[in-house]
Copies of this chain bind each other. A is one copy, B any other.
Amino acid sequence: MEGEFEFIARRLRPLATAPGALGLADDAALLDPRPGMQLVLTKDAMVAGVHFLEGDPAGQIAQKLLRVNLSDLAAMGAAPVGYLLALARPRNIEDDWLAAFCAGLAADNAEFDVSVLGGDTVSTPGPLTLSLTAVGELPKGEALLRGGARSGDDIWVSGTVGDAALGLAVVQGALEVAEPLRARLIERYRLPRPRVALGQALRGLAHAAIDISDGLLADLGHIGETSNLGAEIRADLLPLSAADLPGVRDAALSGGDDYELLFTAPPSQRDAIEGLGKKLGLPLTRIGQMQVASGIRVHDATGAEVHPQRSGWQHF
């Protein structure tokens, strides 16, 4: 079995392409934001059996770990730069597994133009435990914040929602779905697509943004609380992959892990946002409005109130 130093030298060093990573030879990495830019830092942890399944492909676990962090950067409107990785390795994780894990990182480093900047590998008697700190960059003072929403703002969501929760249900055998939708839902659960280009393009258009990790209602609640506002959304307007699947509306409202962007913007930006969606080839759907009254209200097309079954995940 590879030791710590061998793992770093053989597997991680080739991924540490940024000059500030210092070839992982030092105690820390050096980072210089370009003139007029500021750095953005975020950190997420994942545990085998809690945030992914033991049998998930190693490369996809690596990519999910990286992408959930890139999604946080996207929600702030930042461009990704690089990341530091901590890996607590149980004995049953073989060198081959680590090689596949690092191949997943390598693929995403190329796709998202990021570099390993540092990290730590330790042994654990428990489950595989991962944490990643992602670094991004954006023009000073232009970050999209949760607290910037204003009453009357439209509420928008990117892509489709509920897919990751349905994909998990499929993987766990709780839901039967025919191909090709089956593969698409599983991929949505295993391999989030952080909306990196959208997040950056929303600077100057959106008032507030968040990525959907806890569930649409819970994350809209975070925007509402931080902005001291409430919201009303229309359940029938939610962008769904398959409207006739059982539980799809609850999954869309309360399922986590979609990693789409939920954002608010003034009605004056509707044309610009619709144009942006076309330019990016990504559906952007208007689902409601921010309001002065606190709390989140959900209605259907007839105006009747909808009561979703769960109000979001807590990962703790």
Contacts of A179 in B (CB 8 A): none
Interface membership of A146, Cβ < 8 A = yes
Query: Does B125 lie within 8 Å of A25, measured CB to CB?
Result: no
Measured as residues with beta carbon below 8 angstroms from the partner, the interface class of chain A is 35 or more
For A208, the closest partner residue in chain B by CB is B26
For A68, the closest partner residue in chain B by CB is B120
Interface membership of A217, Cβ < 8 A = no
Other-chain residue from B27, B73, B129, B210 in contact with A210 (beta carbon distance below 8 A):
B27
Bound Cα distance from A43 to B84, whole angstroms: 7
Interface membership of A299, Cβ < 8 A = no
For A210, the closest partner residue in chain B by CB is B27
For A33, the closest partner residue in chain B by CB is B33
Contact with B along A210-245 (1 / 0, CB 8 A): 110000000000100010000000000000000000
Query: Does B41 lie within 8 Å of A316, measured CB to CB?
Result: no
Bound Cα distance from A125 to B51, whole angstroms: 12
Other-chain residue from B31, B49, B143 in contact with A40 (beta carbon distance below 8 A):
B31
Contact with B along A21-49 (1 / 0, CB 8 A): 01001111111110000111111111101
Query: Does A29 lie within 8 Å of B41, measured CB to CB?
Result: yes
Interface membership of A136, Cβ < 8 A = yes
Contacts of A78 in B (CB 8 A): 28
Other-chain residue from B30, B43, B136 in contact with A120 (beta carbon distance below 8 A):
B43
Given A31-B38, A39-B32: A45 and B145 within 8 A (CB)?
Answer: no
Interface membership of A258, Cβ < 8 A = no
CB distance from A165 to the nearest CB of B (A): 18
For A312, the closest partner residue in chain B by CB is B5
Given A40-B30, A40-B31, A133-B133: A47 and B314 within 8 A (CB)?
Answer: no
Query: Does B42 lie within 8 Å of A3, measured CB to CB?
Result: no
Bound Cα distance from A31 to B226, whole angstroms: 20
Interface membership of A123, Cβ < 8 A = yes
Contacts of A279 in B (CB 8 A): none
Interface membership of A122, Cβ < 8 A = yes
Query: Does B76 lie within 8 Å of A27, measured CB to CB?
Result: yes
Interface membership of A155, Cβ < 8 A = no
Contact with B along A244-287 (1 / 0, CB 8 A): 00000000000000000000000000000000000000000000
Query: Does A28 lie within 8 Å of B73, measured CB to CB?
Result: yes
Known: A27-B146, A124-B127. 4 other contacts (CB 8 A): A41-B135, A43-B84, A44-B86, A45-B88
**Which 7 pairs, one residue from A and one from B, show the smallest C-beta to C-beta distance?**
A126-B126, A4-B316, A28-B42, A45-B86, A27-B72, A86-B131, A133-B133
